[in-house]
Amino acid sequence: MQLGTREIRHIILNNQVVNSSRALHSLKHTVPKSHKNIAIHMVDHIRRLGVFPANYALDLGEFIDSNGNSYIDIVELNPISCSMCYVNNSIYADVVPEIGECQRQLMMGAEFCYDAIANPKNYDMLRISNKSYTYTSDNQSQS
């Protein structure tokens, strides 16, 4: 299985996990609460070290040991300034109402919503259940 399907990016602001997203183009995914709880635990541990910035991107991966047991560990820590957000991530803890409405409608992070408002032709603004959405490029998905 590809690491991207087992990796989760957590955006950390002021030593708090503000949101989490998998490295997938699919809008229909969730991050298990157990993964978020591990991220919260790791962020708290990093904070207690007292030598790391309070804002960063934390990438956790699910790995399998030689006995076939799965475990979650850090893949990498990155400054937010050079980290892209996955589709449901955002560096914004608070958003303006227009972006909040877009997030509810498209289920994407604020950065993608800013782009959707600026370039609506690149987005299918009417999500329909049981419809298949296909990734075609970094700029557009096809239904």
Digitized pLDDT (tens) for each residue of the chain, 143 residues in all: 444 457 888 989 899 998 888 766 555 567 788 889 999 999 999 999 988 999 999 999 988 888 988 889 999 998 887 777 666 666 676 778 888 888 777 777 777 788 888 888 877 666 555 566 555 544 444 44
Identify the pLDDT of residue 12.
92
Identify the pLDDT of residue 115.
81
Identify the pLDDT of residue 103.
79
Identify the pLDDT of residue 3.
47
Question: Is 118 in contact with 53 (CB distance < 8 Å)?
Answer: no
Strand partners of residue 12: 17, 56
Place of tokens 């979650």: 72
Q: How far apart are CA 135 and CA 49, in angstroms?
A: 41
Identify the pLDDT of residue 47.
96
Q: How far apart are CA 5 and CA 52, in angstroms?
A: 28
- Nearest 5°: the CA angle 136, 79, 91 is 60
pTM beyond 0.75: the answer is no
